Amino acid sequence: MSELPLEESPAVAAPARQAAGGQRVAAIVPESMVEALLAAEDAEDAAEADAAWDAPGESIPLEQIEAEFRR
């Protein structure tokens, strides 16, 4: 893996330092890795949604939810 120090990119150095808080702020990876990460996130979201359907609890009428979020 290669790294490009911020000092070699003066146009982005200050904003990157501010955003990063001392951590790495970017990576260039193969698109297949991004696709795999997105697929894993989608699978995790689907599993959480399935678990939520099975979770015990009282039903909340749609009208109550709509009223609460219309503030």
Average pLDDT along the chain, 71 residues, taken 10 residues at a time: 76 79 79 96 96 89 93 63
Can you give the residue range of the structural domain that contains 40? 6-69
User: Which among 44, 3, 7, 41 has a CA at the least distance from the CA of 24?
Assistant: 3
Q: What pLDDT is attached to residue 1?
A: 67
* Tally of residues, the chain: 71
Residue 1 belongs to some domain of the structure: no
Q: What pLDDT is attached to residue 23?
A: 79
For residues 65 and 71, give the distance between their C-alpha atoms in angstroms, rounded to a whole number: 11
Q: Cα 37 to the chain's mean position, in Å?
A: 11
Residue 34 belongs to some domain of the structure: yes
Q: How many domains does the chain have?
A: 1
